[in-house]
């Protein structure tokens, strides 16, 4: 069995294994360590002996043994300290496994989804909830998560480490959510699913532009969340956004695996079934409850989907939707996309003016997408030399090989005109 095949099984089964251990033992840090130990054992044994008949059961058994060994060592350490007259350290492992009722049992949450909700730990700030869950549940690397948050990798590594420490120090370990706080904690889950989908739709690094399996997994989990909370209009909006966006996937790369920008995509290759379902979800969600960020983003995606060609896109409507989005959920990503829309609706000079706050922000100068948008707007305005420099700067900052090829090709194609 190849290492890549082992990784595929691991991505599919790891959340179930971690969820099983957490339900039995409750200690997040210890359970995650045990699961990682099981991964190492699987990578060594499966590549030689082949995949077991029940890989999930195999992983749960191996991880459980590692966890029991850890508990025994901790118990022995505490006994030695007590005999020496020292104050024993408190911890969730004392007293053996924790068995607790599951107040969400009647909601029939998917194992992975249940784990996502558990990881929305009340002792953590929302950004830390998202980062920790992306690492522990979705299996993203620290580098991928850092790219999603537009922060340096060491910063994200520290953030995840602090989140784990906070859970241990809180003493509450992995508390089961109760009905009155479920919706609040689902807000963090939605953000996790959104960022996971984004990493699948446009991989932040590596040779491929799209990780279809990761994007499909995010959609599957969002479908499960939508079934569990069908009246939550933001979850409906998130599902609609994913479907409408994922519908473009077949047209986003050419025969050589190179990126095809939205304006040049063959819209006949877009998945009309996904578009139709996404549009119906948007229409169902918008009139019902308060309009949230995911509903607005889904509405923007629907406007793109409705246009039979790039030239017929209703850019003024998209500008207004981004203006609404910026009022309720301002972020560098929203400002960036708003600048693109303004450039299309009102001309490149207006787009460049809208982009200027990001170009003046030192933190955003590490974001290759800021330079990419700047390059496109500069090219449209006729400043070819500056556009070439911006394209090359963007290419130097991205770890995605398809994006590097596209950006360098754009710079090369303009070089003769500069």
What pLDDT does 93 receive?
Answer: 33
pLDDT reading at 94 higher than 50? no
Q: Tell me the residue ranges of DSSP E strands in 16-77.
A: none
Q: Are 82 and 88 in contact (CB under 8 A)?
A: yes
Which of 8-12's residues contact partners 24+ apart within 8 Å by CB, and which partners? 8/213, 9/42, 9/46, 9/51, 9/55, 10/39, 10/42, 10/139, 11/139, 11/213, 11/214, 11/217
User: Alpha carbon 44 to chain centroid distance?
Assistant: 29
pLDDT reading at 167 higher than 70? yes
pLDDT, tens digit (0-9, with 9 covering 90-100), for 286-325 = 888 789 999 999 999 999 999 999 999 999 999 999 999 9
pLDDT, tens digit (0-9, with 9 covering 90-100), for 337-377 = 999 999 999 999 999 999 999 999 999 999 999 999 999 99
Q: Which one is predicted more confidently, 357 or 54?
A: 357
What pLDDT does 75 receive?
Answer: 66
pLDDT reading at 99 higher than 60? no
Distance CA(381)–CA(377), nearest Å, equals: 6
Residues 399-408 have a mean pLDDT of: 94
Most confident residue range from 53-62, 88-97, 112-121, 401-410 = 401-410
Distance CA(172)–CA(176), nearest Å, equals: 10
Phi and psi for 94 in degrees, rounded to 5? -65, 135
Q: Which one is predicted more confidently, 258 or 31?
A: 258
Q: In terms of Cα–Cα distance, which of 321, 323, 314 is closest to 345?
A: 314
Strands 205-206 and 399-400: parallel
Neighbouring residues of 412: CB distance < 8 A, sequence distance ≥ 6: none
- The per-residue b/e assignment along 143-164, b for 16 or more CB within 10 angstroms, e otherwise, is ebbbbbbebeeeebbebbeebb
Total Cβ atoms within 10 A of residue 131: 28
What pLDDT does 417 receive?
Answer: 73
Domains, in order of start, for the chain = 1-89 (no CATH), 314-418 (1.25.40.10)
Alpha carbon distance, N-terminus to C-terminus of the chain: 52
pLDDT reading at 177 higher than 80? no
Residues 48-56 have a mean pLDDT of: 83
pLDDT reading at 406 higher than 60? yes
What pLDDT does 74 receive?
Answer: 66
pLDDT, tens digit (0-9, with 9 covering 90-100), for 196-255 = 899 889 988 778 888 888 899 899 889 988 988 888 899 999 999 999 999 999 999 998
Q: Which one is predicted more confidently, 21 or 313?
A: 313
Q: Is 45 helix (H, G, I), strand (E, B) or coil?
A: helix
pTM for the predicted model, two decimal places: 0.76
List the structure tokens of 325.
């989005």
Residues 32-36 have a mean pLDDT of: 81
- Quote the Cα angle for 41-47-52, to 5°: 75
382, burial (CB in 10 Å: exposed 0-12, middle 13-18, buried 19+):
exposed
pLDDT cut 90: percent of the chain above it: 45
What pLDDT does 367 receive?
Answer: 94
Looking up tokens 């195999």, which residue turns up? 58
pLDDT cut 70: percent of the chain above it: 86
pLDDT, tens digit (0-9, with 9 covering 90-100), for 265-287 = 999 999 999 999 999 999 999 88
User: Alpha carbon 165 to chain centroid distance?
Assistant: 22
Neighbouring residues of 374: CB distance < 8 A, sequence distance ≥ 6: 352, 355, 359, 390
Distance CA(369)–CA(267), nearest Å, equals: 23
**Average pLDDT value for the chain:** 84
Residues 100-126 have a mean pLDDT of: 63
Phi and psi for 399 in degrees, rounded to 5? -95, 0
41, burial (CB in 10 Å: exposed 0-12, middle 13-18, buried 19+):
middle
What pLDDT does 56 receive?
Answer: 85
């Amino acid at each position: 069995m190849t290492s890549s095949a082992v990784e595929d099984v691991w991505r599919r089964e790891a959340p179930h294994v971690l969820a099983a251990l957490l339900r039995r033992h409750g200690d997040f840090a210890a359970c995650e360590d045990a699961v990682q130990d099981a991964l190492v054992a699987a990578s060594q044994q499966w590549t030689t002996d082949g995949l077991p008949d029940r890989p999930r059961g195999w992983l749960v058994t191996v991880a459980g043994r590692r966890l029991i060994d850890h508990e025994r060592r901790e118990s022995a350490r505490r006994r030695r300290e007590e005999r020496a007259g020292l104050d024993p350290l408190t911890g969730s492992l004392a007293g053996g496994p924790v068995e607790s009722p599951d107040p969400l049992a009647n909601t029939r949450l998917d194992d992975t989804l249940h784990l996502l909700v558990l990881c929305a730990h009340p002792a953590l700030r929302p950004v830390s909830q998202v980062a920790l869950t992306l690492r522990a549940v979705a299996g993203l690397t620290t580098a991928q998560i850092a790219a999603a948050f537009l922060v340096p990798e060491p910063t994200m590594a520290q953030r995840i480490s602090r989140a784990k420490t906070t859970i241990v120090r809180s003493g509450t370990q992995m508390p089961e959510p109760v009905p009155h706080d479920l919706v609040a904690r689902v807000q963090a889950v939605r953000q996790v699913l959104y960022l996971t989908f984004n990493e699948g739709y446009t991989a932040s690094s590596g040779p491929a532009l799209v990780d279809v399996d990761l994007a499909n997994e995010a959609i599957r989990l969002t479908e499960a969340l939508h079934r569990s909370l069908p009246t939550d209009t933001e979850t409906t909006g998130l599902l609609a956004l994913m479907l409408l966006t994922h519908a473009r996937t077949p047209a986003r790369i050419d025969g050589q695996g190179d990126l095809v920008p939205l304006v040049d995509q063959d819209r006949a290759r877009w998945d009309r079934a996904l578009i139709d379902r996404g549009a119906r979800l948007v229409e169902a969600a918008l009139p019902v409850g308060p309009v949230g960020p995911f509903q607005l983003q889904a509405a923007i995606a629907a406007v793109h989907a409705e246009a039979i060609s790039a030239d017929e896109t209703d850019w003024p409507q998209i500008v207004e939707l981004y203006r609404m989005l910026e009022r309720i959920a301002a972020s560098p990503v929203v400002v960036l996309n708003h600048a693109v829309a303004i450039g299309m609706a009102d001309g490149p000079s207006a787009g460049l003016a809208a982009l200027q706050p990001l170009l003046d922000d030192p933190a955003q100068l590490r974001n290759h997408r800021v330079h990419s948008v700047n390059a496109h707007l500069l090219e449209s305005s006729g400043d070819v030399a500056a556009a070439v420099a911006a394209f090359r700067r963007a290419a130097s900052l991205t770890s995605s090989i398809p994006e590097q090829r596209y950006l360098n090709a754009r710079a090369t194609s303009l070089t003769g005109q500069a």
